[in-house]
Amino acid sequence: MSAVSPSTARDALPTSFLPLAGSPPVAWRVAPAPVAYAEALAEMDRLAEAIAAGRADETVWLLEHPPLYTAGTSARREDLVDPDRFPVFETGRGGQFTYHGPGQRVAYVMLDLKRRAPDVRRYVAALEEWLIRTLAAFNVRGERREDRVGVWVRHPTKAGEGEDKIAALGIRVRRWVTMHGVSLNVEPELAHFEGIVPCGVREHGVTSLVELGLPVTMEDVDLALRREFEVLFGPTRTEG
C-alpha cells in the first residue's frame, strides 16, 4: 500500500489498521505494578527486535511509571522548567518533553507495519483514533489538532477556546516495528506536569478524566482501551 501524502490531514486518513489475514492476535500485557523507565525501555527493545525477526507476536503493554520526565528527539532544553524535580530520561521517540507517573495509563505498542501498512502517518492517525474512541466510551469528546499531535478536550471551566491535552503520543519505528506509543491521563497528579512545557505547547494545559469529573478507574480505562483497540487493530490475546 502506498504512503499517504504528508499534506493529507490526519483526520482524513483511514483509521482501521488491521493486520494481514492469518496474522496471530496481538499479545495484550498489563503490568501489575509501576515499571521503572529503564526496565521498560529494555523490554520494549527486546520485544521489538523479536517481532522484527519473527520470533514474537505483536504486543501492547499497558503500564504505569514512577514520576519522571522524558525527552523526545525534538525536546528543547528551555522546556525543562524544573530539571531537579524528577528523573529525566533521553529517549528515541519523536516529540518533546512529557511526564509519566502514577495514575497515567501508558501503552507501549509494538506492531509490525509490514503486516499492516508501511505508513507511519496513517499509524499515528490510528493511534489518535484509538484514544478518541476510548474517551468517547466515557462521554468525553477527544479532538485532533493538525498543528500538534495528541488528543485534546475542550475544558468546561475555561472560557472561549480553552482546551487541555488529555493524551499524548510519541513513537519510533525500527525495522518497521513500532515502539513507544501513547499515554492517557486517568488520575495523575497534574501539578507534576509543571516541571516541563508538555510537548512544547505553552498556550494550553493538561487535564485528566478524573479532573473532568469522571470517577473512572484504571481498570475501566483498560477495558475500553482493549475493546477499541480490537476494532481498529484486530484481535488480542491476554499475556501474563
Catalytic residues: 199
User: Which residues partner with 146 through β-bridges?
Assistant: none
> E strands, the chain, where?
26-30, 59-63, 68-71, 88-90, 97-100, 104-110, 143-145, 148-154, 163-174, 177-185, 205-206, 236-238
* 3-class SS of residue 220: helix
Annotation: binding site: 93-100, 168-170, 181-183
> Residue-wise over 6-33: b if at least 16 C-beta within 10 A, else e?
eeeebeebebebbbeeeeeebbbbbbee
In sequence order, the 6+-apart residues with CB closer than 8 A to the CB of 13 are 4, 121, 122, 125
Q: C-alpha grid cell for residue 198? A: 508538555
CA 1 to chain centre: 25
**Cell 493538525 belongs to which residue?**
146
**Cell 462521554 belongs to which residue?**
139
Separation between Cα atoms, residue 197 and residue 60, nearest integer Å:
28
Annotation: binding site for substrate: 93-100, 168-170, 181-183
- 8 Å CB contact between 82 and 88: no
Q: C-alpha grid cell for residue 35? A: 515499571
